[in-house]
Amino acid sequence: MKGDAFTVGSIILLIALVGVFVFYPIISMFAGSFQDFDGSFNPDGFIRNIQDPAIWSLDCVIGGARCGVAWRTLFLAVMTASASTLLGLAFALVATRTGFPAKKGLRLLTVLPIITPPFVIGLALTMMLGRSGLVTGWIEALTGIELGRWLYGLTGIWIAQVLSFTPISFLVLIGVVEGVSPSMEEASQTLRAGRWRTFRKVSLPLMAPGLANAFLIGFIESMADFGNPLVLGGSHGVLSTEIFFAVVGAQTDPSRAAVLAIILLTFTLSAFMLQRVWLAGRNFATVTGKGDSGKHAALPGPLVALLYAIVVPWIIFTLAVYGMIIFGGFVTTWGLDHTLTLEHYARGFSVEWREGALAWTGVAWDSFWTTMEIALIAAPLTAAVGLLTAYLIVRQNFFGRNAFEFALMMSFAIPGTVIGISYIMAFNLPPIEMTGTALILIACFVFRNMPVGVRGGVAAMSQLDKSLDEASITLGAGSPRTIRRVILPLLRPAIMAALVYSFVRAITSISAVIFLVSAKYNMATAYIVGLVENGEYGIAIAYSSVLILVMITVIGGFQLLVGERRLRRENAVSRPAAKKRAQSSLEAKA
Amino acid sequence: MMTRENRRLDLTFGLGLAAICLLPWYRVEGGFFALEWVAEMAGEPDLYPGLLQLFLGRFWLLIAFALFAAAIATRFTMPAGTARGARLALIGAIGVGFMALQGLAITFWGWAWGIGDALFGPLDPGQPAFGAGAVILSLGFLAFIAYGLAERGA
């Protein structure tokens, strides 16, 4: 498309935006670590912090008390990623290869982490297993052993993270497990390999890329997780919470925060690169054109028993944790007084009729409406920027396209805490000053959630035949018109998905947001964390359950809308052939 | 002759002139969208548009305005085509680069980096953060790059 101002303009605008809102903050953070308070060059802070034994010490290997925070975080991330990948695999196998009775219910599980604010799991765990937790009480009453504070520290964070991220790895792995071609397994069995050998030598190796992907996501999510360590960490912080306390704590040390953020970023980006290198040049093609029976080989009996033994207790555990979230909002004081009450909801969300007007008297309304407002502004922007980028990547060929795509995907591996700290370092001073405004929150959400919109858009757009837009352009429409009249209508499901995802993420995210909120623009999650720090667990849990309810409503509404679209198409009688074909391929995906 | 190339350029010129002459150049404390600056603009030097900021000692902005004027001159002196496109894209790129550089180099208290003091001597006054005028003019320079490249046939 030579000489198309819209395309060139979009590319340049996107590059400028990504430069200002992704790269400029990161570079400022690097620069900030080498600066004094007055901005002059001074590497002392960097050198002092990068050598700090509190970060790098390996004492625990040689029998000392504890290792440095960097190693602890790395260890935690590896443990979380391994456990959630294995559990996710167990769930995926149960959901696809066994006669488990409640498979539909299992799939519902995948929605949970999307709608749960990240620290809520940690909160519910404290209520079950903490010092005055419900289960702790039972065990102590039964055995008489004082359990104490075992939950607070890496163990507790690990349990909370595995609970939070297992559904994500389940979501990643279920497609991979389903995708393994039955014909390979059949071939193996025809050659007289047993079920066990078939599983071990054929099925499992074919799932390797999925396992690597699930591991990477678990690793990055664990590194980036801020809410659970904050609630459960106690004195055993991880990198993301240490960064936070280096900024807001008693000894404010921006250079230390920047150094810690750089270490965290190095870990996640290395994992990201390693995975790309490892997957490049390998072939795991399992979906072929050849016909097969469509029936997967049955799993060996003992393995099924093992899977059930893992999955069923874990489901019960997860349900108990979520039950705790609902239940916790209705009791007076957790662990002391379990009489049922609506007091927490009343304090948070009371409404009064005053002088002929509705007065929002509850303490939570202020942050609730701000959150809704900002999420509603950010969601369409995220979807627009994400889909425009996807369009440029899939449909246009321009210089540096691969680098552009890679830079965008890389921003996926930047932990929220790093984004938060880099945003305050970059946007607190001229030339661009945005701290304390709603704008910085919106920018943060748009550029943090954009990669997901891009991925969704790329996937959906690759399914649309290129001849559609070529036909439109041949007939004289410019590219803005082609996008509006041809591509956008066919992308409706992808648009809706991007909208809902960015809306929900704007409500639930905490790690970056906690640095960026101000008295005027407080967000729900930051407010809840404040409540937790003050020990007001009842109202914090009540607020969280309201948020979960709101998001279930939003996702339900979204599914209704998508359903409507499908209905209308079935009623249609005649349509141009090309459009029909593209839509049916879309339908096949949906 | 009024072609599509010229029309979109003229539109950008209009927006850029408004950004230079009418909108507050620097950041408005109470928030731009509160629109309180409309009433207070006349009495408050901090809210002056870019053109008046020149007379408050912020002479370096003249370079940005000169680049903008060069773009206008290019539009009216050269025929639409490859050569004009290349010239416009170049002006746009220099403009964006200069806006970013002056923004980073000159802060509230003068030069941000010691090298500025060493080369040009101390600077007074400095400047606050970008406001509506500065942001829109920067976007205008980006538009020059895009339209220039499009005219060149990128």
The answer to whether A429 and A31 are in contact (CB under 8 A) is no
In a domain, A586, yes or no: no
Q: Which of A5, A430, A432 sits opposite B147 (nearest CB)?
A: A5
Q: Does B127 touch chain A (CB under 8 A)?
A: yes
Task: Give how many domains chain A has, as a whole number.
Answer: 1
Minimal CA separation from A436 to chain B, in Å: 11
In a domain, A590, yes or no: no
Place B154 in a pLDDT band, splitting at 50, 70 and 90: low
Q: Which of B8, B129, B143 sits opposite A433 (nearest CB)?
A: B129
Interface test with B, best of A11, A12, A38 (most B CBs within 10 A): A12
**Closest Cα in chain B to A432:** B129
Minimal CA separation from B143 to chain A, in Å: 7
In a domain, A516, yes or no: yes
Q: Which of A3, A9, A398 sits opposite B153 (nearest CB)?
A: A3
C-alpha to C-alpha distance for A195 and A304, rounded to whole angstroms: 11
In a domain, A461, yes or no: yes
| DSSP annotation of A493 | H
In a domain, B131, yes or no: yes
CB atoms within 10 A of CB A579: 16
Minimal CA separation from A478 to chain B, in Å: 12
Q: How many degrees, rounded to 5, is the angle at CA A385 between CA A426 and CA A507?
A: 70
In a domain, B29, yes or no: yes
Cβ <8 Å between A432 and B96: no
In a domain, B16, yes or no: yes
Cβ <8 Å between B142 and A16: yes
Q: Does B103 touch chain A (CB under 8 A)?
A: yes
C-alpha to C-alpha distance for A511 and A531, rounded to whole angstroms: 16
pTM as predicted: 0.82
- Residue A225's Cβ-side half-sphere holds a number of Cα atoms within 13 Å equal to 39
Q: Is B107 helix (H, G, I), strand (E, B) or coil?
A: strand
Minimal CA separation from B102 to chain A, in Å: 9
- What is the 3-class SS of A213-268, one letter each residue? HHHHHHHHHHHHCCHHHHHHCCCCCCHHHHHHHHHHCCCCCHHHHHHHHHHHHHHH
**Closest Cα in chain A to B153:** A3
Q: For each successive 10 residues of chain A (590 residues), what is the average pLDDT?
A: 73 90 88 70 74 72 72 91 93 83 76 77 83 78 76 86 87 79 81 85 82 87 86 78 80 80 88 80 60 69 87 87 83 75 82 78 85 90 88 81 79 83 85 83 89 79 79 82 82 80 85 85 88 84 89 78 50 42 44
Q: Which two tokens stand for residue A75?
A: 């260890």
Interface test with B, best of A11, A21, A433, A437 (most B CBs within 10 A): A433
Residue B42's pLDDT is 77
Q: Which positions 375-404 of A are in contact with B (Cβ < 8 Å)?
A: 398
B108 or A40: which leads in pLDDT? B108
Q: Does B122 touch chain A (CB under 8 A)?
A: no
Residue A261's pLDDT is 87
Please, is A480 exposed, middle or buried when counting C-beta atoms within 10 Å of its C-beta (0-12, 13-18, 19+)?
Answer: middle
Cβ <8 Å between A39 and B146: no
* Amino acid letter for position A315: I
Task: Give the Å distances, CA to CA, from A199 to A301, A517, B128.
Answer: 12, 51, 66
Cβ <8 Å between A5 and B146: yes
Q: Which of B31, B100, B150 sits opposite A8 (nearest CB)?
A: B150
| DSSP annotation of A330 | T
In a domain, A587, yes or no: no
* Nearest residue to B98 (alpha-carbon basis) of B73, B70, B62: B62
CB atoms within 10 A of CB A119: 27
C-alpha to C-alpha distance for B1 and B7, rounded to whole angstroms: 10
Long-range pairs of A321-327 with CB within 8 A, sequence gap ≥ 24: A321/A121, A321/A124, A321/A125, A321/A128, A321/A163, A322/A112, A322/A124, A324/A124, A324/A127, A324/A128, A324/A134, A325/A120, A325/A123, A325/A124, A325/A541, A325/A544, A325/A545, A325/A548, A326/A545
Q: Does A5 touch chain B (CB under 8 A)?
A: yes
User: Which CATH number belongs to the domain containing residue A449 in this structure?
Assistant: 1.10.3720.10
Facing residues of A351 across strands?
A360
Minimal CA separation from B129 to chain A, in Å: 4
Cβ <8 Å between B154 and A39: no
- Residue A470's Cβ-side half-sphere holds a number of Cα atoms within 13 Å equal to 7
A482: domain range? Answer: 5-581
ipTM attached to this prediction? 0.89
Q: Does B89 touch chain A (CB under 8 A)?
A: no
In a domain, A185, yes or no: yes
Residues of A with Cβ-Cβ distance to B154 under 8 angstroms: 2-3, 8, 398
Q: What length is written for chain A?
A: 590
Residue A530's pLDDT is 87
In a domain, A74, yes or no: yes
Q: Which of A8, A16, A41 sits opposite B154 (nearest CB)?
A: A8
B113: domain range? Answer: 7-152
Interface test with B, best of A21, A432, A440 (most B CBs within 10 A): A432
Place B95 in a pLDDT band, splitting at 50, 70 and 90: very high
In a domain, B1, yes or no: no
C-alpha to C-alpha distance for A462 and A589, rounded to whole angstroms: 12
Q: Which two tokens stand for residue A159?
A: 């349990």
**Closest Cα in chain B to A396:** B154
Q: Which of B27, B145, B151 sits opposite A12 (nearest CB)?
A: B145
In this model, does residue B29 exceed pLDDT 70?
A: yes
Q: Which two tokens stand for residue A423?
A: 């945003």
Task: Give how many domains chain B has, as a whole number.
Answer: 1
Q: Does A3 touch chain B (CB under 8 A)?
A: yes
In a domain, A530, yes or no: yes
The answer to whether A329 and A545 are in contact (CB under 8 A) is yes
Residues of A with Cβ-Cβ distance to B145 under 8 angstroms: 12
Q: Which positions 41-100 of A are in contact with B (Cβ < 8 Å)?
A: 41
Q: What is the dihedral of CA B130, B133, B134, B140, to 10 degrees?
A: 150
Q: Is A98 helix (H, G, I), strand (E, B) or coil?
A: coil
CB atoms within 10 A of CB A385: 23
Q: Which of B108, B127, B150 sits opposite A4 (nearest CB)?
A: B150
Residue A576's pLDDT is 43
Residue B141's pLDDT is 94
